[in-house]
Amino acid sequence: MVGVSTIICSLVFGKHYTHDDAFLKQYLEILDEMAANMSNGAAAAFLPFLRILPGNVLTKFKRNSDWIRANWLDIELVEHKETVDVSNPRDYIDAYLAKMQTTKEGSTSRHPTTHMSDEQLVACLGDLFAAGTETTTNTLKWGLLYMLRYPDIQRKVQAELDEVVGRGRLPSIKDKPNLPYTHAAVLEMLRCSSVVPLGVLRATTKETTIGGYRIPNRTVLIPNLWAVTHDPRYWEKPDEFYPEHFLDADGKVTNREALIPFSSGTRLCIGELLARMELFLFFSSVLQRFTLAPPEGSPRPEAKGKLGITLSPQPYKLTATLR
């Protein structure tokens, strides 16, 4: 989780945190707690009266969220405002502040030209960091678990990495076209794990009809992404980890329309490209250097998940032996 979060920190805040940074570790612990508890408070999102009951997890969720904002996000915003050079943005915050300044020029209270604001920016920062950390981290956890459960696939990935990359350097994104089996394993990791199984809540802005069903205006919709990524009509072996789902007869990677872990349409996840690169680089680098196995005498972990904000695997242990 720390390795993944440092990447999003560089992009959003323009800072690189070390793996032993105490503040970052504290934040990640709070984020992990928030993610684990959120599913328990889901009912309160639809039945507001539940929020006043003692012990409601949304109260703790809000307390943690407020702590993150006061002790990190608001501070970053103030520091960036004091040092920003709109002609030379360093990171996402600078770019947002620069855009906000240019779009507000000529704006009046009666005729605003933008909805961009400090409040919106802080909300975006929280969303980007949480989503950019939690989803990729849990997908990688699932990927390593699958390697414990499917050692033959692990060996095939390692053999391809040895042949194409060798062990004298780390894999790079430029190697991806020459590593079809490794790439297919990453795609299968996304399909099998489906870490956001019910997507993100949406709402209609007008009455519409889809597939013969009338959906009224202002209807909350929950997309069942898991059902699509595990539908036997689209996948030969929906309940197995099978990289061949994404390989054609010539062994080349092929796209599948039913792979929608990032949702689809104009509102799909804005971090898709970053997540795909991170997953490929982390996964290939680990398997290039290490062979993964359950601890001696331990059974292979079950592919069972626990649902919070994302679907994460049940805790498991592994041994990583230097190759």
Residue 272 included in any domain = yes
What CATH code is carried by the domain that includes residue 299?
A: 1.10.630.10
Q: Which of 150-164, 201-215, 280-294 has the lowest mean pLDDT?
A: 201-215
Tokens found for residue 204:
């209609």
Query: Which position has the higher pLDDT, 178 or 265?
Result: 178
Amino acid type, 84: V
Q: How far apart are CA 41 and CA 57, in angstroms?
A: 6
Residue 208 included in any domain = no
Task: Give the N- to C-terminal CA distance of the chain in Å, as an integer.
Answer: 23
CB proximity list for 229: less than 8 A, separation 6 or greater: 191, 192, 194, 235, 238, 258, 259, 260, 261
Residue 41 included in any domain = yes
pLDDT exceeds cutoff 90 at 106:
no
Question: Domain count of the chain?
Answer: 1
pLDDT exceeds cutoff 60 at 41:
no
Beta bridge partners of 247: 253
Cβ-based neighbour number of residue 301 at 10 Å: 18
Task: Quote the pLDDT of residue 109.
Answer: 54
Range of the domain at 53: 2-195+228-322
Residue 35 included in any domain = yes
Mean pLDDT, the chain, rounded, equals 87
Residue 140 included in any domain = yes
pLDDT confidence bin for 253, thresholds 50/70/90: very high
pLDDT confidence bin for 42, thresholds 50/70/90: low
Query: Which position has the higher pLDDT, 68 or 152?
Result: 152
Residue 33 included in any domain = yes
pLDDT confidence bin for 43, thresholds 50/70/90: low
Residue 150 included in any domain = yes
Residue 220 included in any domain = no
Only one residue has tokens 């054609």, namely 248
pLDDT confidence bin for 238, thresholds 50/70/90: very high
